[in-house]
Structure 1
Amino acid sequence: MNRRALLRLAALRLATLGLALQAVSPAFADDGKIDVEAILNDPAAPVGGNPKGDVTIVAFLDYNCPFCKKATPELDKLVKADGHIRLIYKDWPILTEASVYGAHLALAAKYQGKYERVHNALMAVPGRRNGEEIMLGAVKTSGVDMGRLNADLKAHDADIAALIKRNGEQAQALGLEGTPVFLIGPFKVAAALDYADFKKVVGQVRAAQKAK
């Protein structure tokens, strides 16, 4: 069975689980619109999990997206339990102006090694239209050094804005219509999966890798 047929079969199996899946492959870069290397290896993008993991998950998220908030702890649980997943965060603030502010806060925290701490604090805030004041309050309780965070916000403002812009351009090139979206190996998943479903997709990716 060739690789294309294998991916098609895997996607069919996953579709029976009721997941919003669309099979994708590195071959989608052939049209020249999508830079796979930039998506998977942007040096400025925060990376969690195992940097040398055998499965990569790219997460496009917004801090005012209720479905992102629902999926985030489930994904975190899998990444910690599995131990072999490389998780790439793509802050894609598209819902409100406050979403952009939240993304800037989280990405500024990366410079003191606390991106995930701030990311999780923002995702834990309930609701879908939280303003800047609420987001800032959540960040202040996360344990981040606020003095350094504010300094990094100013010092790296252009770099942070450029990263968010690149994330948006990548999302557009991929044809994404909203958050959350997870690129899991060869699959594009536009759904708030739970732990079990994340695990099933990762299992399918590994099965496809072994069958090559």
Structure 2
Amino acid sequence: MTIRVLIADDQGIVRAGLTTILNGQPGIEVVGQAADGREAVALARQLRPDVCLFDIRMPHLDGIEATRLVAGPDRADPIAVVVITTFDTDEYIYGALKAGARGFLLKGTEPDQLIRAVHAAVRGDALIDPAVTRRLLATFATNAPAEPPAQPIEALTEREEEVLRTVARGRTNAEIAAELHISTSTVKFHLAGLMTKLAARNRVELAMWAYETNRMR
């Protein structure tokens, strides 16, 4: 089954580069390109790609609003969106997560990371490098949430609290296992439990919740 991808970025050279990389992979096809957010939303609705790659800063409609319109929590048929960010200028990562972004890529990321992110999005997962997690947290840690953080559907265990704090510090599964003296499979088990209890879609949302609820103090 071919994974169909839509790319939206206002820089032609970025669109061309991403298209070349993706079309060079078996089982992936770029089916559309957009130069602004409004065009991106229109093409997404018309083409129904499996994955959209949206830049955050685009003319007419920014990547956050474009993400909300195709992947937001109120969408009956959301399309997976992976946000492309530069971090040196982007200030709205928090908003992109709330709008429904499933993953994050840095512009200039290695091609294999791009491919993995596309495959992860199709599976319903999120590929967010721990280094990106740390930089994301640095961006939105100073931004107070617009509404009180949701409460877990079930109280977190002591071990889950420990895993949550290490995730919020940007640790990989292997690093968490080493720090807490548990196996990586146990780490994955606790991460799954945390995501269920907190209705989180990925480890960045877990980290956000940890900061919002002062778990890092």
Structure 1 and Structure 2 fold alike (TM over 0.5): no
Q: Which TM class, normalised by the smaller chain length?
A: under 0.3
Which is helix-richer, 1 or 2? 1
Higher relative contact order (CA 8 A, sep 6+): 1
